[in-house]
Structure 1
């Protein structure tokens, strides 16, 4: 009996302990759940104590997808405008995902998002194959699965199709498939003209679209080395762009430079310099950086220096000086870009016959180049080469040999003895040595005649010297 009572007391104690453990666990779970609910309430409720954090949480968690899509599109445009190309493509990828959420897999808006991403890859990162793949996906959506607006109001689909064919043409152009590129650009042109005829697009928007299509046509012709055919397309694109954006628009600058490049290749130097000057005036009229203005002046100087007309030499020197002045203002005279432009200016001076002036500038720049690039650098070697050529032109063979020898030493260490630059310098030095040898070689003097009665001492043997005075 006593044993039974003891067992009962032990069981009661064990049961009481289990009840306490269960009660503690229940209280702990309730406390954890209460704390978790408090966190959720704090996250979604707006209280004066934490208003800014709550607003941020609400913005992130409860923003509608279409609002997120609108913000992503704005971010993509802003990043593209500020040349943050990598971030722009990321935002375009987000736009594609949000468009699929908002409109589904078969809406023309999704095709438009694919086209925008294709343009991002093509224009911002130069990934032509990815651009082509997204354009093909957009084409598939538009042609087979479109459930867009009714035919009475299909302006959006038409505009999307114009952008599709133009983007596809640009991608094929970069992939050097010129025939397919031209076919897609022709489709884009026909659709844009149809939009204009039906009154679905305003004239200014049509002109802007035409400018991009004609520009692409010109690039197709230039890629095929058909520069004469490219010029009319460039000029039509420029007219459309000036009509839609204005003659002073910054968007005209790259088009003017491409047009000038085609004209320069055809040796239309006056027209090329004129278009580059027009682009330079647009750049100067904007609040751009010193480096951008320097690049613009350099393009004018480079084109004028390539012209064979003596009248363009003054133009070249003027814009070389302007370019170096802008670079000096933004970085000083010891930057790599300034020294590179200065070398190009010295080469121009040598071609123009101003060797002494070029030599003076090169000697002054040598110390800065050694400090910037080091003793054994391509820039220092090029400076010695230019100094040697200038000394050759001036007839100073000793100075030419000295500077070319330094150039050869640096080139041998940098490129090796069999590099074409090293071999060219060695050939110049060999030619210089031959010329110098001919110039300094003494004329042979006639030998003195031996008197008839002069006799050679009989004790002098062959192969031995004359006897000394002591003998």
Structure 2
């Protein structure tokens, strides 16, 4: 009994040590030395700061924010509530929040807290207050970025101007060296450029991007990865202003930097895609060869990819098909699109925007070639998917419906042979391939009230009634939960029912003991 009590106390102490230690929770399984509980706060603070920098450089921003929160608590313990170091900790946390999308308001609140601390803090002697001024520069810059993210452009501009003015004064007074000033200027100029671009003021943004790039190249080197994002943003502004040659050159410069850093295949593909996309944006025939070259390079990097890489490949391939259509190679584009349809169904799902768009493009090609029947068939599939994804009143759905209405008047579409009662559904792209059909928790009833015959295992059909019955019901989707939409959506099963003329559709579906929400779409075809 005594031994059990001692074990309980020991386990409880280990939990306390883990809670206050800087060691990540995932390592709780390792027996932590109890001396970690008595580690000096300044050592813990230093360790947290180093871990925050490491996480940030690895783009693990969520973990970095976690460490920066700990830094605030430890800084308060080490320096008190009125020290400029506490303001610096709040600024660092605000910068961490800015790296996480949607947390600009939290960043602003921590910047305001830092300003309050600096205003009320005990200032060090004049000769020792350089760190406080540097902290103030970071405060103004961080506040400006937070306000920019919140689209408060006037206040953002004021704070960025304060940061730039203070940095210049410190340089003139000899408080900071020129190298420090250049690094500060690079960040301020980039934020100013982004502020103007957010307001669609490309002319004002352009010189700030150019200055930011110049300062980064001086401080980090012309081949540094820090240049890549600035080069791409600069190229985007030049493209919007019609400076296509300069835009292509800057995208190409960024691409060469990426290739020099041993990138992954996906990174290399994305970089080449930027160059190709910029080349077709100009609309000039002299840039077509460049676009072709970098489209091929981009797709070659991802041709054998799986998962997200395959999805990226198919998206780039769609852009390539659009390029082929622009330059008049419509047959090649159509062939690629037709061949990609099966892969898109496998990667994105049957009921996905990518599949709908492919059917729309293929239907448009058939329409342009005078194949009204083929166009009607493909656009019908597109319309069914769009109706389920976007609803019947969405502009994309309405546009497809309008085209379908025009096509319906074509002779080869209007006069169609009557389908037999057991004809397959037009939309059969997502028939089940796998799964146990006998495990579907539902009962289906025919219009006559007779219970549906049990489905054939592995097969996609339920036959309601005898072979000469009223209808055939086809369920497209696996019983084990084939995800036709992303996980955050309800599971969706598409049901297509063929009805003979004059028949009255009556379908009753009850779902029993379902472990997930089901959305059933029923479409009737005469």
**CA displacement, residues 182-226 of structure 1 (integer Å, 9 cap, x when unaligned):** 111111111111221222222222111100001111112122222
Per the alignment, residue 454 of structure 2 pairs with none
Per the alignment, residue 61 of structure 2 pairs with 85
CA distance in 2: counterparts of 1:165 and 1:336, whole angstroms: 41
Q: How many Å apart are 1:129 and its aligned residue?
A: 1.4
Does 2:33 correspond to 1:56? yes
**CA displacement, residues 24-62 of structure 1 (integer Å, 9 cap, x when unaligned):** xxxx99xx99xx99xx9xxxxxxxxxxxx998332x123
CA distance in 2: counterparts of 1:376 and 1:177, whole angstroms: 39
Bigger strand share:
2
Gaps of at least 5 residues in structure 2 are 14-29, 416-526
* Cα 1:55–1:329 shift into 2, 3 Å: same
CA distance in 2: counterparts of 1:333 and 1:386, whole angstroms: 23
Does 2:378 correspond to 1:403? yes
Per the alignment, residue 12 of structure 1 pairs with none
Per the alignment, residue 115 of structure 1 pairs with 91
Per the alignment, residue 184 of structure 1 pairs with 159
Conserved 8 A contact 1:350-1:390: no
Per the alignment, residue 215 of structure 2 pairs with 240
CA distance in 1: counterparts of 2:92 and 2:258, whole angstroms: 28
CA distance in 2: counterparts of 1:436 and 1:344, whole angstroms: 34
Per the alignment, residue 357 of structure 2 pairs with 382
* Cα 1:103–1:413 shift into 2, 3 Å: closer
CA distance in 2: counterparts of 1:253 and 1:264, whole angstroms: 16
Q: How many Å apart are 1:260 and its aligned residue?
A: 1.3
Does 2:207 correspond to 1:207? no
CA distance in 2: counterparts of 1:85 and 1:121, whole angstroms: 8
Which of 260, 264, 267 does residue 292 from structure 1 map onto? 267
Residue 303 of structure 2 aligns to a residue in which SS? helix
Report the count of equivalent residues.
394
Does 2:72 correspond to 1:96? yes
Conserved 8 A contact 2:266-2:309: no
* Cα 1:270–1:435 shift into 2, 3 Å: farther
What is the TM-score normalised by the length of structure 2? 0.69
Q: How many Å apart are 1:334 and its aligned residue?
A: 8.5
CA distance in 2: counterparts of 1:320 and 1:233, whole angstroms: 31
Does 2:150 correspond to 1:139? no
Flag the structure with larger Rg: 1
Deviates more, 1:403-412 or 1:158-167: 403-412
Residue 176 of structure 1 aligns to a residue in which SS? coil
**CA displacement, residues 118-142 of structure 1 (integer Å, 9 cap, x when unaligned):** 1111124441111111111111222
Gaps of at least 5 residues in structure 1 are 1-27, 41-52, 441-471
CA distance in 2: counterparts of 1:330 and 1:195, whole angstroms: 52
Bigger helix share:
1
* Cα 1:212–1:266 shift into 2, 3 Å: same
CA distance in 2: counterparts of 1:72 and 1:355, whole angstroms: 58
CA distance in 2: counterparts of 1:128 and 1:146, whole angstroms: 29
**CA displacement, residues 340-364 of structure 1 (integer Å, 9 cap, x when unaligned):** 2212211221121110100111121
**CA displacement, residues 344-389 of structure 1 (integer Å, 9 cap, x when unaligned):** 2112211211101001111211222233334443322211211122
Per the alignment, residue 68 of structure 1 pairs with 44
CA distance in 1: counterparts of 2:347 and 2:48, whole angstroms: 44
Per the alignment, residue 461 of structure 1 pairs with none
Does 2:229 correspond to 1:254? yes
* Cα 1:407–1:259 shift into 2, 3 Å: same
Q: How does 1:441-452 map to 2 (within 5 A)?
A: none
Conserved 8 A contact 2:248-2:278: yes
CA distance in 2: counterparts of 1:436 and 1:234, whole angstroms: 58
* Cα 1:171–1:373 shift into 2, 3 Å: closer
Q: How many Å apart are 1:99 and its aligned residue?
A: 0.9
* Cα 1:66–1:375 shift into 2, 3 Å: closer
Q: How does 1:321-336 map to 2 (within 5 A)?
A: 321-331=296-306, 335-336=310-311
CA distance in 2: counterparts of 1:126 and 1:54, whole angstroms: 38
Conserved 8 A contact 2:273-2:295: yes
Which of 297, 303, 324 does residue 349 from structure 1 map onto? 324
Query: Runs in 1 of length 4+ with deviation above 4 angstroms?
Result: 432-437
Conserved 8 A contact 2:391-2:397: yes
Conserved 8 A contact 1:334-1:368: no
* Cα 1:406–1:224 shift into 2, 3 Å: closer
Deviates more, 1:256-265 or 1:207-216: 256-265
Does 2:299 correspond to 1:318? no
* Cα 1:374–1:245 shift into 2, 3 Å: closer
Does 2:171 correspond to 1:196? yes
Conserved 8 A contact 2:324-2:330: yes
